[in-house]
A and B are shown apart, each in its own frame.
Chain A
């Protein structure tokens, strides 16, 4: 053909096959959704659901006005909550550092034994929410602050460990090579070649996790692990809604404040 007769009048972004696949994909997703919806709502009592707006209005009216005179009583538990988060972060970071060095490809002492173990520790810690850790620990070592601190620490290992080992793997190899070339031992290479490079990441991750931990530690009391959550649980049990409002407002203020502090600190570091 030496001459183009006419241009095609339909223009399609994708080939018909690709379009078909896409539509099939979406269809499958919709079907899956409908099926899941039916399975999930098997046991739902719809009378409760239709009653929900009335319930919401009822709870709302009970919650207002907040009982502000309850505030002084909350200061002790708030202090506990902050301690759970801070000490828990501290413990978590201390445990996460060796795990991160074992998990990073360029520093692991044994890629076939210790590295998979370290990676499993990280996944296990990350998969299990701190509230579940707290639930377990309250059953094991009894209710109180200690259970909360350990729960926060255990949950932090995975988070800090993962981000830190990624930072270790991203270090500049030339700086490490140069330190090695001086005849430094392995420990000295880590100390001079790697640690200075990951320090900003380390502090950033720690402060970020502390901020998250403040959030999480506010609710640990629901399962008995101390802090302001204990008061929330107690107030919910006796349906003291005006107190619940005060507690929620206080939690909200704490979370906002800690977010501000952590943002400022990260800014100062980087």
Chain B
């Protein structure tokens, strides 16, 4: 009769070397201690803030839509128009750049130019772009429009280019075999394959642009963000709560609307 072990420990799954595991755990612990230690908190200020926090929560629960309605309406109008125009312009510019950034369609040098435009647009934060554009074009929604258009290019063109690179080569080959020109190739082989996704991405970007339009106002690029910034600066938490609720509401509507629209279009 053999005897069987009466203890069992789960073998480590990722880092199998015991020394490495201990070193890793110690490293994480040390980092956490250092990181938490470098956060110096002014507890008196936080305690004072609790009262304000309560007021904010109250403001959120009992939002005040009316007393600043004129400002809110103005901000919303700017945000919504900015969102739409920047998405349209951004997508319109993205299409040629996206095609140019697809390895299987564009000549080498165009490919590199388009990919670097995309890389620059993706690497820079919307806020940072907005700061510069506000400095150049002055305060207001026009700078916001430019910011969002630029950010849209990086997003749409990249995903579009990746999509085009993944299209079914057999279909493109078949069209090419008929002696089609480059333009006909794009029109017949590429467009039908990527169009549904482009529409989906555009709707998604519309949603993102609206959310972003609420932020870039903080640095002076117009929209509801500017109104929100003012409300918080004046400690008018009930108005701020109202604005946040409106933003959440519009985002929700946009999300449901765009998923509905995507289904409808397919």
Contacts and interface: CB of A to CB of B under 8 A. Distances in A.
A36 B31 CA distance: 50
Interface string B56-82: 100000000000000000000110111
Nearest to B45: A142
Given A33-B85, A37-B85, A139 B251 contact: no
A59 interface: yes
B132 interface: yes
Interface in A64-85: 79-80, 83
Which secondary structure dominates chain A's binding surface?
helix
A248 interface: yes
Interface stretch (A94-102, A124-132, A180-188): A124-132
B78 A40 contact: yes
B228 A135 contact: yes
A39 B81 contact: yes
B136 A52 contact: yes
B262 to A, nearest CB: 14
A25 to B, nearest CB: 9
B135 A55 contact: yes
Interface string B70-105: 000000011011101100100000000000000000
Given A142-B46, A218-B125, A44 B39 contact: no
A128 B137 contact: no
A137 to B, nearest CB: 9
B81 A132 contact: no
Interface in B33-49: 35-36, 38-42, 45-46, 48-49
B35 A83 contact: yes
A127 B41 contact: no
B137 A136 contact: no
Interface string A131-159: 11001100111101110010000000000
A145 B39 contact: yes
Nearest to B141: A40
Contacts of B193: none
B80 to A, nearest CB: 8
A222 B88 contact: no
A44 B141 contact: yes
Which secondary structure dominates chain B's binding surface?
helix
Given A123-B251, A139-B235, A141-B49, A36 B81 contact: yes
Interface stretch (B19-27, B151-159, B207-215): B207-215
Given A36-B85, A39-B81, A86-B35, A222 B219 contact: yes
B214 A132 contact: yes
B247 interface: yes
14 contacts: A39-B77, A40-B141, A44-B140, A44-B141, A44-B142, A52-B136, A55-B136, A126-B251, A132-B215, A132-B244, A135-B229, A142-B46, A232-B128, A251-B125
Given A44-B142, A142-B48, A145-B39, 17 more contacts: A36-B81, A39-B77, A40-B82, A43-B141, A45-B138, A45-B140, A48-B137, A48-B138, A52-B137, A132-B228, A135-B218, A136-B232, A139-B232, A141-B49, A141-B53, A142-B46, A219-B125
Interface of B: 14, 31, 35-36, 38-42, 45-46, 48-49, 52-53, 56, 77-78, 80-82, 84-85, 88, 123-125, 127-128, 131-132, 135-138, 140-142, 145, 211-212, 214-215, 218-219, 225, 228-229, 232-233, 235, 240, 244, 247-248, 251-252, 255
Interface of A: 29, 32-33, 36-37, 39-41, 43-45, 48-49, 52, 55-56, 59, 79-80, 83, 86-87, 123-124, 126-129, 131-132, 135-136, 139-142, 144-146, 149, 215-216, 218-219, 222-223, 232, 236, 248, 251-252, 255-256, 268
